[in-house]
Every structure is written in C-alpha cells, then in structure tokens.
Amino acid sequence: MQQLTNLKEIETAVNQYGEIVVSKNSKNNVVVMSMEEYKKKMLNEEIEKEILESEEDYNNGRVRKAEDVFKEWNLKYGI
C-alpha cells in the first residue's frame, strides 16, 4: 500500500477502502475506519457476544419455557 502523508490522504483512503491499517516496523499499530464502519463493527461484536452467551445458557440448561416467561410478563407488566 502507498505511504500516506497527510490527513486529507488518509480521509480519501478511508472513504475509498473503508478501513486502513497503519503499521510501523511490520507491526500493525492503528486501524483507521469511518465511524459508520466502526459502529457496524461494534454492533456485530455485541451481537456475536450475545449469541455466544445464549448458546452457553442453552448448553448449561439455563432456559425457560416461553409460555412461562409470557405469563410472568403479563402479571408484571400487563403484556
């Protein structure tokens, strides 16, 4: 990849490629991305975390019948 020398070049590259890895001495030090891409990444990581926790709950028997949950909600919230 080409060497970027100023903020405008970085902004143009991020707009074109979506994500840029800045490295020094063959080590990745910084990732530059648009806020939109960052928000998507954070949302995807949160969803993945919730799915993994749900799978763990299921595998460890921490589950309830939906009917029981809805009855509880109805009593508590009138739903």
Please write the tens of the pLDDT for every residue from 12-42: 888 888 887 777 777 777 888 888 888 999 9
Query: Is 58 found in the same domain as 29?
Result: no
Query: How many domains does the chain fold into?
Result: 2
Query: Is 23 found in the same domain as 41?
Result: no
Find residue 20's DSSP bridge partners: 32
Query: Is 22 found in the same domain as 46?
Result: no
pLDDT surpasses 80 at 72: yes
The count of C-alpha atoms lying within 13 angstroms of the C-alpha of 79, restricted to the half-sphere facing its C-beta, is 9
Highest-confidence range of 4-8, 20-24, 29-33, 59-63, by mean pLDDT?
Answer: 59-63
Domain extent, residue 10, equals 1-33
Query: Is 70 found in the same domain as 43?
Result: yes
Query: Is 79 found in the same domain as 45?
Result: yes
pLDDT surpasses 90 at 3: no
Query: For the whole model, what pTM was predicted?
Result: 0.59
Query: Is 1 found in the same domain as 25?
Result: yes
